[in-house]
Structure 1
Amino acid sequence: MARIFISYRSRNPDMSLAQTFHDAFQAAGYGAFMAGESIRLGEDWAKRIDLELERCDYFLLLLSEQSAVSEMVTEEVRRAKQLRDQTGKPMLFPIRVNFPIDSPLNYDLRGYLQRIQQREWHSEADTDSIFQEILALICDRTPVTPTATAIATPTENPEATHPEEAHPEEAHPEALDPPAIETRFAQRESVQMPPLPVAEPELPGGQVDLASQFYVERPPIEARCYEAISQPGALIRIKAPRQMGKTSLMSRILRYGEQQGCLGVPLSFQIADSVVFGDLDRFLKWFAASVGRRLQLPNKLKDYWDDIFGSKDNCTAYFEEYLLQELTQPLTLCLDEVDMVFQHLSIANDFFGLLRNWHEMGKTSELWKRFRLVVVHSTEVYIPMNINQSPFNVGLPIELPEFTAEQVQDLADRHGLKWNTSQIGRLMGMVGGHPYLVRLALYHIARGDTTLEGLLREAPTEAGLYGDHLRRHLWNLEQHPELAAAVRQLVATEQAVRLPSVQAFQLHSMGLVDLLGNDVGFRSELYRTYFADRLRSE
Structure 2
Amino acid sequence: MKPRKILVLAANPRDTSRLRLDEEVREVEEELKRANQRAEFQVFSRWSVRSEDVQRALLDIQPQIVHFSGHGEGEAGLVLENDAGKAQLVSAASLGRLFKLFSDQVECVVLNACYSEMQADEIRKHINFVVGMNQQIGDKAAVIFATGFYRALGAGRSYEDAFEFGCNAIDLESIPEYLTPVLRRKADRKAQRVFISYRSKDPDLKLAQQLHDALAEAGHQVFMAAESIRLGDTWSQRIQQELERCDYFLLLLSQHSVNSEMVTEEIRVARTLRDVRPDHRPAILPVRVQFSLSSPLNYDQRGYLNQIQQREWFTEADTPRVVQEILRLLAEGRIPEPVKTDIDESSVKQGSSARIDAAPDHPPLPVAEPELPGGQVDIASQFYVERPPVEDKCYEAIIKPGALIRIKAPRQMGKTSLMSRMLRRAEDQEILAVPLSFQLAESSVFTDLDRLLRWLCSTVGRRLKLPNRLNDWWDDLYGIKDNCTAYFEEYLLRECDRSLALGLDEVDMVFQHPEVASDFFGLLRAWHEAAKTSKLWKKLRLIVVHSTEVYVPMNINQSPFNVGLAIELPEFTAVQVEDLATRHGLPWTSDQTSQLMEMVGGHPFLVRVALYHLARRETSLDQLLKSAPTEAGLYGDHLRRHLWNLEQRAELMTALKQVLAAPRSIQLPSVQAFQLHSIGLVDLQGNGYVAPRCNLYRHYLRDRLNIRE
- Please state if 1:127 is matched with 2:127: no
Structure 2: unaligned runs, 5 residues or longer: 1-190, 347-354, 359-370
Inter-CA distance 448–537: structure 2 relative to 1 (3 Å threshold): closer
Counterpart-to-counterpart distance in 2, 1:35 and 1:501:
37
Superposed CA offset, 1:456-513 (max 9, x none): 1110011110000000000000000010111111121221111111110000000100
Superposed CA offset, 1:351-372 (max 9, x none): 1111101101101110011111
- Please state if 1:93 is matched with 2:285: yes
SS at 2:541 equivalent: strand
User: Corresponding residue for 2:624?
Assistant: 455
SS at 1:293 equivalent: helix
Maintained 8 Å contact 1:102/1:194 = no
Inter-CA distance 203–383: structure 2 relative to 1 (3 Å threshold): farther
Maintained 8 Å contact 1:236/1:398 = yes
- Please state if 1:291 is matched with 2:460: yes
Q: CA RMSD for the aligned pairs? A: 1.8
User: Corresponding residue for 1:53?
Assistant: 243
Inter-CA distance 30–193: structure 2 relative to 1 (3 Å threshold): farther
Amino acid at match of 2:462: R
* Segment of structure 1 superposing worse, 485-494 or 336-345: 485-494
Inter-CA distance 206–388: structure 2 relative to 1 (3 Å threshold): closer
Superposed CA offset, 1:139-180 (max 9, x none): 13xxxxxxxxxxxxxxxxxxxxxxxxxxxxxxxxxx23x3xx
Superposed CA offset, 1:274-310 (max 9, x none): 2212321121111111111111111111111111110
How far off its partner does 1:25 sit?
1.4
Inter-CA distance 332–194: structure 2 relative to 1 (3 Å threshold): closer
Maintained 8 Å contact 1:409/1:424 = yes
Counterpart-to-counterpart distance in 2, 1:77 and 1:506:
22
- Please state if 1:272 is matched with 2:441: yes
Maintained 8 Å contact 2:265/2:641 = yes
User: Corresponding residue for 1:79?
Assistant: 269
Inter-CA distance 203–335: structure 2 relative to 1 (3 Å threshold): farther
Aligned with 1:65 (options 245, 255, 276): 255
- Please state if 1:524 is matched with 2:673: no
- Please state if 1:117 is matched with 2:309: yes
How far off its partner does 1:194 sit?
6.8
User: Corresponding residue for 1:21?
Assistant: 211
Counterpart-to-counterpart distance in 2, 1:521 and 1:241:
15
Inter-CA distance 200–499: structure 2 relative to 1 (3 Å threshold): farther
How far off its partner does 1:205 sit?
3.5
Maintained 8 Å contact 1:210/1:252 = yes
Structure 1: unaligned runs, 5 residues or longer: 141-174
- Please state if 1:348 is matched with 2:517: yes
1:228-377 → structure 2 map (5 Å cutoff): 228-377=397-546
User: Corresponding residue for 1:103?
Assistant: 295
1:463-482 → structure 2 map (5 Å cutoff): 463-482=632-651
Superposed CA offset, 1:192-247 (max 9, x none): 77734564799834862111000000011111101111111111000000000000
Ranked by relative contact order (alpha carbons within 8 Å, sequence separation 6 or more), the top structure is: 1
* Segment of structure 1 superposing worse, 272-281 or 416-425: 272-281
SS at 2:667 equivalent: coil
* Segment of structure 1 superposing worse, 436-445 or 201-210: 201-210
Counterpart-to-counterpart distance in 1, 2:461 and 2:281:
30
User: Corresponding residue for 1:160?
Assistant: none
Maintained 8 Å contact 1:102/1:193 = no
Counterpart-to-counterpart distance in 2, 1:384 and 1:516:
22
- Please state if 1:182 is matched with 2:352: no
Counterpart-to-counterpart distance in 2, 1:199 and 1:457:
39
Counterpart-to-counterpart distance in 1, 2:394 and 2:626:
40
User: Corresponding residue for 1:157?
Assistant: none
Counterpart-to-counterpart distance in 2, 1:496 and 1:469:
24
Inter-CA distance 508–251: structure 2 relative to 1 (3 Å threshold): same
Q: What TM-score results when the alignment is normalised by the length of structure 2?
A: 0.68
Amino acid at match of 2:472: D
How far off its partner does 1:59 sit?
0.7
Counterpart-to-counterpart distance in 2, 1:421 and 1:77:
39
1:183-198 → structure 2 map (5 Å cutoff): 195-197=344-346
Maintained 8 Å contact 2:453/2:484 = yes
- Please state if 1:412 is matched with 2:592: no
Maintained 8 Å contact 2:375/2:412 = no
Counterpart-to-counterpart distance in 1, 2:454 and 2:556:
26
1:122-161 → structure 2 map (5 Å cutoff): 122-140=314-332
Counterpart-to-counterpart distance in 1, 2:548 and 2:686:
16
Counterpart-to-counterpart distance in 1, 2:240 and 2:380:
39
Amino acid at match of 1:195: D
Counterpart-to-counterpart distance in 1, 2:375 and 2:678:
23
Larger Rg, first or second structure (1 or 2) = 2
Maintained 8 Å contact 1:203/1:243 = no
Maintained 8 Å contact 2:299/2:375 = no
Counterpart-to-counterpart distance in 1, 2:600 and 2:663:
17
* Segment of structure 1 superposing worse, 271-280 or 504-513: 271-280
Aligned with 1:389 (options 542, 553, 558): 558
Maintained 8 Å contact 1:263/1:330 = yes
Aligned with 1:488 (options 657, 667, 680): 657
Maintained 8 Å contact 1:484/1:535 = no
Counterpart-to-counterpart distance in 2, 1:264 and 1:206:
20
Superposed CA offset, 1:3-41 (max 9, x none): 110011223222222122112211222111111111012
